[in-house]
């Protein structure tokens, strides 16, 4: 099982999808803006990124900056963060890769190879 949340206009997401195609890997591709990850998926990803909530956020995005999340995030609870992320896919770091047992955010080819080889 491979699930990847992407934004079609994101060049990093397109690179990740090309990587999957080159590797001949089947994946469920989901539009992150229209269908953000679920709270359960965010919880799994939070564990995969070592418990760092900030890593789940698209910190370079306009919504993140407009909402002043840089200053708000350190005091935010996991529940509050998940509410924001599930209600606004623009806030989620992309691409967002979930495998049966692991996950990662962003696209680093070596990291994806490692995550997808297990």
**Cα gap 11→2, rounded to integer Å:** 20
Is residue 18 included in any domain, yes or no? yes
Q: pLDDT tier at 118 (50, 70, 90 boundaries)?
A: low
According to the model, what pLDDT value does residue 117 have?
87
66 in a structural domain: yes
- 97 phi and psi angles, rounded to 5 deg: -105, 125
How many structural domains compose the chain? 1
Structural domain that includes position 81: 2-109
Judged on CB neighbours under 10 Å (0-12, 13-18, 19+), 30 is middle
Q: Structure tokens of 69?
A: 């999340």
Query: In whole angstroms, what is the distance from residue 90 CA to residue 84 CA?
Result: 10
Q: Using one digit for the tens of pLDDT, what is the confidence trace for 4-63?
A: 999 999 999 999 999 999 999 999 999 999 999 999 999 999 999 999 999 999 999 999
Residue 96's CATH number: 3.40.30.10
| Extended strands (E) in the chain | 2-6, 28-31, 96-99, 103-105
Residue 114 within any structural domain of the chain: no
């Amino acid at each position: 099982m491979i699930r990847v949340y992407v934004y079609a206009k994101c060049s990093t997401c397109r690179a990740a999808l090309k990587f999957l195609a080159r590797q001949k890997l089947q994946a469920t591709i989901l539009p992150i803006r229209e269908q953000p990850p679920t709270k359960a998926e965010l919880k799994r990803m939070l564990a995969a990124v070592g418990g760092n909530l900030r890593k789940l956020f698209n910190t370079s995005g306009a919504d993140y900056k407009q909402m002043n999340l840089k200053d708000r995030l350190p005091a935010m609870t996991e529940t509050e963060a998940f509410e924001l992320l599930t209600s606004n896919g623009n806030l989620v770091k992309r691409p967002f890769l979930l495998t049966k047992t692991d996950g990662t955010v962003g696209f680093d080819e070596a990291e994806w190879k490692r995550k997808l080889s297990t």
